[in-house]
Structure formats: C-alpha cells, structure tokens
Amino acid sequence: MSDPKDLKQEAERLDAADPLAAHRAKFALDEETVYLDGNSLGALPAHVPARMAEVVGREWGELRIRSWDESGWWTAPERIGDRIAPLVGAAPGQIVVGDSTSVNVFKAVVAAARLAGGAGEGRDEILVDGTTFPTDGYIAESAARMTGHRIVALDPADIPGAANERTALALVNHVDYRTGRLHDLPGTTAALHAAGALAVWDLCHSAGALPVGLDAHGVDLAVGCTYKYLNGGPGSPAYLYVAERHQARFDSPLPGWTSHADPFGMTPGYRAADGAVRGRVGTPDILSMLALEAALDVWDGVAVEEVRAKSLALTDFFLECVRAYVPEGRVVPVTPEPHGERGSQVALSCPDAPVVMPELIKRGVVGDLRRPDLLRFGFTPLYVGFADAERAARVLAEVLAGLPAD
Ligand SMILES: *Cc1c(COP(=O)(O)O)cnc(C)c1O
C-alpha cells in the first residue's frame, strides 16, 4: 500500500504540470466540493449568467421579435452545430442543434432505416447496443415497429461480426454510460459499411471528453447531448450529425416547418431545406440554446487531444489512489483498464453503493449511483484536477472504513 502522503504530493506535482489547469477558473465551482458528476450535468461556465441576462433583458425584453433576425436566433441551431463540429471531428454544415437526445435518436434511426432502403428491400434488421442507456433502446424499438424492422440487441463488441446483408443500421453508444467502456467506433463503422449497413452513433458520453472523428471514420449519422461534458446546462438541446453525403437523401420522420426550404412561405406541401438544417423540427428553444452557445466558449483554444490525455491521466491516477487507499475487495472497477477501452469516467462496483454515495456527497465528493451497485465518477478535464481525484479516493476509503465489511 502506498503512503497516502506520497499520493498527495504526486497529485500536487501533476496539477502543477497540468497544461489545462487554468481552465478551472472559467467555471463556477467551490473549493469545498469535488465535482465528479460532469458526465451527468456539466458545471456552469462562470460567464454564462451574464450572457443570459443580456439575452433575456436585451434580446427578448427589448428587441422582442426582431431578435429572430437581429440577434441571430433563427440560425442558432446550425450556427451552434458548427461550434460543436470541431469537438467531434466534423466539418461545418453537418450538425444541427435542437430537441433532446431521445428525439434525435428517433430522427436518426428512422432516417437511417429509410436511407438503407426500407425493410421491404431485404434489410429488415436494426442492431442496437443491448447495454444502452434505456431511452435509446426504447426509441429504437418503437422506430423499428414503425418502419417494419426487427431489433437485434447485442453487446457492442459483437456488432461488427453480426452485421450482414439483412442489417439496415446499427445504433451504438460510443461510451457506455454505466461502465465507462469506450467502444470501437472506427472498426464497428467499417464493419457495418462492409456489410452495406449504416452506422448511427450516440456520443452522449464521448463528445467533450475524447476525440470522436466522425468525418475521418465515415460515420453516417450521430446524436449526442450537450449538458454532460459540453456543460450546456440542464436540459440543453441535443444535436444531430448528418454526414454531408447523406444530406440530399436524409428524409426526416419529423419534418417540421423550420426544416422547410422556405419556412415563411407557409405552403401546404413539404419541401426539405438543403443540408443538416433538415434535421430541424419546430421553433428552437432559444434560451437553452443560447446558454449552450455561450457555454461552448470554454472550448476556445482547447485541443480535444489534450483533454483526452488529461482524462486518461486523471482516471489512471484515481484508480491508483483507490487501489492504495481502499482495502482489497471493497470495490471492483468495472471500467476497463486499457486506455483504448476507457471513456472519461470510472465506475466501481460496490455492494454498499446505495449507502456509500450519499455519504460521499455529504462529505463533498459528488459522483452518482447507478443502481444496484455502481458508484460512478465522471472526470471532466477542464475543471477536475489530480488533487480532486486523490481526495475522492481518500474520502471513499474513509466512508467504507465506517461501514462493516461484508
Ligand atoms: C444522457 C443520455 C441520454 C439522454 O437523453 P435525453 O433525451 O437528453 O434525456 C440518451 N442517451 C444516452 C446514451 C445518454 O448517455
């Protein structure tokens, strides 16, 4: 067992050498709390409240309807999409922001099924990640019933081998929300394409935490939320990526008026706009959207590769501290050890998790519980440091020491 003092010193050394350390000051955080739940709700960038006061006071309060043009409200979904694009490796013009992730999963699955030619043409199966965040599975199942497809739920690692001439598409999570396992986006996408199928990725737990490379790996469609690692705020709108090569044939199952080629023509017949804009539905939720837009300023000048390097160093260090402080067997990491298989969180299985997490939170270490037995700790490199990781592991050991070992 390492000496606790050594790990404290090591944390200080790592924080002093951390090229991203200065970014923490951009967030509204208090020194009493170690915030390890940014994979559920990202922290507030400190400049956002002032920007929102201006949006509400000036743009809504004074300019009122003029703001749709004069304050750029109307074009916010595609403008903010272009701000997210570099974070997920997409060229401009392929991402549109709006609606929830759940709604975008629906748009993406139905649109991909239509792009694949429809169930009547032999491709009648939709492969889904069987370990998925439930909403993706629920919605894919409903989408499949509507389009006449059959759902095949699989471990994501088995999807490349299962894709065949009956596969229309696969809906896969880049990072598993429970275990933090990073799935093989390049390999899975290539295997789906080799089988003639489309790849739809859910980036909720990867965007803002690690490089995604949507364009480089030829992903077809993708969705993701913005309130986790992108710090957009509670319920901030999600996004939809439609690769440029699919845009002309992208046939939205929710062709709302704001995706029309001439929305203010108010014509009875639908004619889709060009580009990713056809992923829009109705009137954008401007307040949430503009809070997200302001929140994205924290990424100016930040390279995702640098974020990834720190994320891996943080999770490595946290695991090292847990091994040093927590008696053998009290917790078992379910997050993979190899860097190539790890997202930006550490999940520890612990039979006492339901009593441990509230105790941690009481002592200022905020992670979350995923029933029945997972303690989840998210590491957001822009505002979490190595001393935070050390303290979290130390407090975890203290809490466990106060409970009877079973
Ligand atoms: C967080 C998350 C969602 C959230 O969906 P909402 O529609 O925003 O509630 C969906 N899918 C995955 C994989 C997630 O991690």
Per-residue pLDDT at 406: 62
In the chain, the amino acid numbered 268 is P
Q: Which atom of ligand 1 has the smallest separation from the CA of 202? A: 13
pLDDT means over runs of 10, the chain (406 residues)? 81 98 98 97 98 98 98 98 98 98 98 91 94 94 97 98 98 98 98 98 98 98 98 98 98 98 96 98 98 98 97 98 96 98 98 97 98 97 98 98 82
Per-residue pLDDT at 46: 98
pTM, rounded to two decimals: 0.97
Separation of CA 135 and ligand 1 centre (Å): 7
Q: Which atom of ligand 1 has the smallest separation from the CA of 225? A: 8
Cα distance between residue 390 and residue 314, in whole Å = 10
Other beta carbons within 10 angstroms of residue 60's beta carbon come to 17
Helix (H, G, I), strand (E, B), or coil: what is residue 199? strand
Per-residue pLDDT at 2: 58
Q: Report how far apart, in Å, the C-alpha atoms of 43 and of each of 172, 234, 378, 381, 398 are.
A: 27, 10, 12, 12, 26
Helix (H, G, I), strand (E, B), or coil: what is residue 247? helix
- Report the nearest-CA residue for atom 2 of ligand 1: 204
Cα 298 from chain centroid (whole Å): 17
Residues acting as catalytic residues:
133, 202, 227-228, 376
Separation of CA 225 and ligand 1 centre (Å): 6
- Report the nearest-CA residue for atom 4 of ligand 1: 101
Per-residue pLDDT at 10: 98
Q: Which two tokens stand for residue 114?
A: 């239509």
Q: Which two tokens stand for residue 43?
A: 């922290």
Cα distance between residue 198 and residue 168, in whole Å = 6
| DSSP string covering 316-343 | HHHHHHHHHHS-TTS-EE-S-SSGGGB-
Cα distance between residue 401 and residue 406, in whole Å = 12
Residue 188 parent element (H or E): helix 185-194
| DSSP string covering 115-180 | HTT-GGGT--EEEEETT--HHHHHHHHHHHHHHT-EEEEE-GGGHHHH--TTEEEEEEESB-TTT-
Cα distance between residue 194 and residue 5, in whole Å = 53
Q: Which two tokens stand for residue 357?
A: 């997490």
- Report the nearest-CA residue for atom 6 of ligand 1: 101
Cα 63 from chain centroid (whole Å): 34
Q: Which two tokens stand for residue 140?
A: 């894919």
Cα distance between residue 241 and residue 226, in whole Å = 13
Q: Is the CB of 40 under 6 A from ligand 1?
A: no
Q: Which atom of ligand 1 has the smallest separation from the CA of 132? A: 13
Cα distance between residue 48 and residue 339, in whole Å = 33
Per-residue pLDDT at 121: 80
Q: Counting every residue, how long is the chain?
A: 406
Q: Is the CB of 205 under 6 A from ligand 1?
A: yes
- Report the nearest-CA residue for atom 15 of ligand 1: 204
- Report the chain's C-alpha Rg in angstroms: 22
Per-residue pLDDT at 404: 81
